[in-house]
A and B are shown apart, each in its own frame.
Chain A
Amino acid sequence: MTAPPTTVDLPAVRRAMWRAVLDGDAHGACDVVFPLLDGGLDAEVVLLDVIAKVQAKVGVEWAANRVSVAQEHAASAVNDRVITAVLHHPAARVEDPGRRGRVTVACVDQEWHALPARLLAEVLHLRGWRVDFLGAQVPTPHLIRHVHRTGPLAVALSSSIPTRLPVAHAAISACQATGVPVLVGGAAFGPDGRYARQFGADAWAPDAREAAGILERGLPPTGMETARQAIEDLPHLGDQEFTMVVGTARQLVKQTMVDLEDRIPALRAYTEEQRHHTAEDIAHLVDFLAASLYTDDPELFTRFITWMASILTARGVPATVLRPTLDLLGGQLRDFPRAGHHVERARRALTTAAPAPATSGSQDAV
């Protein structure tokens, strides 16, 4: 892989690209990167140092309420088109494609952020792998069927949202049970990939370059052919707290809504849509609590709460509603010591810490 020529001002390229992407202008975006490819810039640099960076910026800007969700989708669509165009450029021609062997790249089920996985798939393609890219939200049965049918040397799984961790864990174990090693990436696995290790993944990569490097060095066949159950990796699941919180999530949300209206009378004046948004936020919060119980990492829930506080602040919604919500949730989970501990940790973080900069959470790229 070549380093970007010194003549290319990548930050300037990214700024130009950002304007085109935000404008939904795929042609304009192509006009930014094509001259660079014509000038001999490595296609991988365009994919990872321009497109991936721009996409990551979309997430940051969304968190800061400077772009809308719709613009975020538009940006992904434009980036997706630009990637396709870049790959048709002569600079992206691959010598002896597929020479390194076959790998599968997929997002775990319910994972919508396909772009990081697609970028990895294209980088691997450029580096000489035969890549089956299965796209966003791949149900685990599809993935396994594909693995049986094609016998890849490795499976690369992407997940950005921690609430999908149980699904990701199941997918990892299922792939390994077929004898195929699994490389994982994405913000869901924690800043240092700690959940990847916890789930027994064969490797974790913080970005696409590292992932490609790991695959090039080779992952040994996993040797975990006997299917593991989640509890063997996560003995704390034996206390049933995760199971109970997931099983009663809807009731928890309903009860918290009712109690919250008692405590904050202003809520009663909310429109149907506003109430709905509040219910969605609480449901999200319960989902993250479940994920934090699943991994037995109270930090996961605390990170989410401080991130949510910063998101709400950025949108001019008073984050003051978070504290009472946590109080009420903690009250309902009185009989669950581990859940209570996680909620209490988050509550304390909310009081002591200033809102964290809105860079982590659901929007990070692989």
Chain B
Amino acid sequence: MPGSERTPADPGRTRPRRSATWAEAPYPVVVADRAGAVVESNDAALTLLPRLRPGAPLDDTVPGWLAASHARLTTPTGDRDDVPAALPGPRAGTGEPVEGMVGDRSFGAHATRRGDGDVVWWLVETTDVRLAEATLAEERRRTSLLAEASNTLLASLNLERCTEATARLAVQHLADAAIVVGPPDGRSLTVTSCATGHPVTRRLVRAEPDIVPGLREALEGFPPVPSRWIDPAALPDWASAEGFTGPVGSVVVTPLPGHGVSAGALVLLRHGDHARFSQSEEVFARLFAARAGAALSAARMYGEQAAITATLTRELLPPTLTQVNGVEFAGGYRAAAAHERVGGDFFDVHAGGDASAETLAVIGDVCGKGLDAAVLTGKIRNTLHALLPLADDHERLLNLLNGALLTTEHARFATLALASVRRDGGQVLLRLTSAGHPPPLLVRADGRVETAATHGTLVGALPTVRASTAETVLQPGETCLMFTDGITEARGGPLGEEMFGEARLRRALGECAGLPAEAVVERVQMLATSWVDSHRHDDMAVVAITAPRHAHLSAVDGHTRGRYTA
């Protein structure tokens, strides 16, 4: 401030002229002259700024922001570049109030100009408004954080991803580093940690939870230990995060409450120079932790359920077929409902002990759909597996299976087609039997399509099964196709509601002479699924048995890795 240029205050004006009504006003009022000296002030102003004396320079008696505003107001614009520009300057009488702090209270200073050129500063306290606004802004920030946290946390049902999201969110909004400790599993702890600006890392730590103050309590679901009770120096090395350097200033340990059991604990760290956690921040950390805990718990439950389902359905999934003893086998399956992977259709190939023994291929259709039907297919497949040594007589095999099905309480029946397959030189010998099932189709090298001459009754319905077995030979490049009625009875087509039908299937197969087994299966499946398009359909299964066109006995394994790994 160019105080040297200031003219000394006129002694005649130092006398308080407190005749004005503002003298009694409950708001602090300060009058200063053009030179920046205090002219007068009221009692409220003196209470707030005890150093106010008439004649004293503003610089020495009021906060800098007010003195600077006064200087700016009393100096012609354009030649005052030493005044901090950051302060908004009021224009005479009409300007915006200037905001500033006096001690820990905040004020808005409104200026009016008197006729003699003095400026009257009216100070209106804004502390409560400011605090209310700050609280509101903080609440809004927290609400939006909680909403964002919920979105992010609920997005993934994968426990690892959900844990990472918890650590990342905590670091973005609550602390300099966050460590999510999973529920103890044996003697090790899963520790997922993240520091500001660094990626999330995850590791297993062999440690007892009580090595971190408050952690055991948090993991056991006790109320959190207040932050101020936790000594940052007592933290073990693993209770930190990659990229978090320097001493820990303060620590919060909060339980992640799950559904009934603990979903883990959240440890928040702040740097030594960063403010300690206030009580409201601790409360907020708990709100966040409650959401994270619920999401983690849901993810854990989903993971457990999914693992159980995967284990139980593994045996029910259609197998991946490959070449067996010099004969190509390929299979394709599509369950009726998009969300299901198993259904009432099934197929299996049981390899013969060596090239001279017969391999048994089975396709079948249990009445019904979905998991119930799939469970019965599992039973039939197991029974057939046990009956394999008797596969030289298909009718006897079917009757034994029939007996097994009739004695179970499942009041369901099934149709089956069996193929006993053996390679002999370049040819493949087949024995085919249908039990109430669409008879297999034979695709000859010249494109003719024949129906295998086999008929039989379904299994699981009547005391005995009657079935005739057809014998035939596949020349190189010829295929025997077994399928379920989900293919032929598929409804759709360009005009809708039309059945795919056996005629269309035969026509398609007529173009498949000489193709490898996988290609035939793919062709049939593709035609049938594009036929139904988005219409509902039944389970569809198809198996192709093909005599290789190229007479190599060693197989090029055509097995498609992981087609059913979902």
A residues near B (Cβ < 8 Å) are 24-28, 30, 68-70, 73-74, 76-78, 80-82, 84-85, 87-88, 109-110, 112, 114, 118, 132-143, 145-151, 177-180, 225-226, 250, 253-254, 257, 273, 276, 279-280, 282-283
Check B152 against A179 for contact (C-beta < 8 Å). yes
Per a CB cutoff under 8 Å, which of B160, B339, B561 touches A84? B561
**Residues of B close to A145: CB separation below 8 A:** 306, 566
Contact B523 A70 (CB under 8 A): yes
- Do A76 and B561 have beta carbons less than 8 Å apart? no
Binds A, one of B59-67, B259-267, B482-490, B552-560: B552-560
Complex: chain B residue closest to A179, CB-CB:
B155
Set of chain B residues within 8 Å of A180, measured between Cβ atoms: 156, 161
Per-position binary interface string of chain B over residues 144-160, scored 1 when its CB falls under 8 Å from any chain A CB and 0 otherwise = 00000001101111111
A132 touches B565 (CB 8 A): yes
Closest to A226 in B: B151
A-chain residues with CB within 8 Å of residue B310 when the two chains form the complex? 149
Q: Is B526 an interface residue (CB 8 A)?
A: yes
Which of B118-126, B410-418, B507-515 lines the interface with chain A? B507-515
CB distance from B195 to the nearest CB of A (A): 17
Name the B residues within 8 Å of A141 (CB-CB).
338-339
Closest residue of chain A to B522, judged by CB? A73
Q: A28-B550, A148-B302 given as contacts; is B158 within 8 A of A80 (CB)?
A: no
- B303 on the interface (CB 8 Å rule)? yes
Chain B: interface size category: 35 or more
Considering the complex, give the chain B residue whose CB is closest to the CB of A137.
B529
B564 close to A (CB within 8 Å)? yes
- B341 lies within 8 A of chain A by Cβ: yes
B302 and A73 within 8 A (CB): no
In the bound assembly, the distance between CA atoms of A250 and B498 in angstroms comes to 12
Min CB–CB distance A146 → chain B (angstroms): 5
For residue B446, give the distance in angstroms from its CB to the closest CB of chain A.
14
Please name 6 pairs of A and B residues whose Cβ atoms are closer than 8 Å in the assembled complex, sorted by A. Answer: A24-B519, A25-B550, A77-B517, A137-B529, A226-B151, A276-B493
Known: A25-B550, A139-B339, A279-B495. A134 touches B562 (CB 8 A): yes
Assembly CA distance A112 to B566 (angstroms) = 17
Q: Tell me the bound Cα distance from A69 to B511 in angstroms.
A: 9
| Closest CB in chain A relative to B279 CB, distance in Å | 31
The B161-208 residues at the A interface (CB cut-off 8 A) are 161, 165
Q: Does B272 contact A (CB under 8 A)?
A: no
* Pairs of residues from A and B, 8 with the lowest C-beta to C-beta distance, nearest first: A283-B494, A151-B158, A81-B558, A225-B155, A73-B519, A139-B338, A77-B519, A135-B563
CA separation between A250 and B556, bound complex, in Å?
Answer: 44
Q: In whole angstroms, how far apart are the Cα atoms of A86 and B165 in the complex?
A: 40
Further 5 A-B residue pairs, CB within 8 A, beyond A73-B515, A118-B560, A134-B566: A74-B514, A82-B556, A110-B530, A145-B566, A250-B495
CA distance A133 to B560 in the complex (A): 10
Q: How far is the CA of A153 from the CA of B517 in the complex (A)?
A: 35
Q: Which residues of B contact A250 (CB under 8 A)?
A: 494-496
Contacts of B562 on A, CB cut-off 8 Å? 132-135
Q: Is the CB of B558 within 8 A of A26?
A: yes
A82 to B526, CA, bound (A): 22
CB pair B556 A73 closer than 8 Å:
no
- Residues of A near B523 (CB, < 8 A) are 69-70, 73
User: Nearest Cβ in chain A — how far from B156, in angstroms?
Assistant: 5
Closest to A286 in B: B494
Q: Which of B152, B158, B334 sits near A147, CB closer than 8 Å?
A: B158
Please report the C-alpha to C-alpha distance between residue A30 and residue B557 in the assembled complex, in whole angstroms: 11
The reply to whether B511 and A70 form a contact with Cβ atoms under 8 Å apart is: yes
Interface centre among A85, A87, A141, A225 (most CB of B within 10 A): A225
Q: Judge whether B560 and A80 touch: CB under 8 Å.
A: yes
The yes or no answer to B40 lying at the interface (CB within 8 A) is no
Q: Could you say which residues of chain A place their CB within 8 Å of the CB of B334? A: 137
CB A259 to nearest CB in B, in angstroms, measures: 14
- On whether A225 and B512 interact (CB within 8 A), knowing A118-B560, A150-B158, A283-B494, the answer reads no
Chain A residues near B339 (CB-CB < 8 A): 139, 141-142
- In-complex Cβ contact of B529 among A76, A110, A118, A143 (8 A): A110
Among B152, B511, B516, B530, max chain A CB count under 10 A is at: B516
Q: CA separation between A85 and B552, bound complex, in Å?
A: 15
Q: State the CA gap A257–B334 with chains docked (Å).
A: 32
CA–CA, A149 to B557, complex, Å?
Answer: 29
Q: At the interface, yes or no: B549 with Cβ under 8 Å from chain A?
A: yes
Neighbouring B residues of A110 by C-beta, 8 Å:
529-530, 533
Q: Which residue from chain A places its CB closest to the CB of B511 in the assembled complex?
A: A70
B157 touches A148 (CB 8 A): yes
Asked if B365 lies at the interface with its beta carbon under 8 angstroms from chain A, I say: no
Nearest-neighbor residue (CB-CB) of B564 within chain A:
A135
Q: Is A276 touching B494 in the complex (CB atoms < 8 A)? A: yes
Chain A contacts of B566 at CB under 8 A? 132, 134-135, 138, 142-143, 145-146
CB distance from A147 to the nearest CB of B (A): 7
Q: Which residues of chain B are within 8 angstroms of A179 by Cβ–Cβ distance?
A: 152, 155-156, 161, 165
Contact with A along B256-279 (1 / 0, CB 8 A): 000000000000000000000000
Residues 9-21 of chain B, each 1 if its beta carbon lies under 8 Å from chain A, else 0: 0000000000000
Contacts of A133 in B (CB 8 A): 561-563, 565
Name which of B158, B306, B339 has the most chain A CB atoms within 10 A of its CB: B158
> Do A282 and B494 touch across chains, with their CB atoms under 8 A apart?
yes
Q: Quote the shortest CB–CB distance from B549 to chain A (angstroms).
A: 6
Q: Is B358 an interface residue (CB 8 A)?
A: no
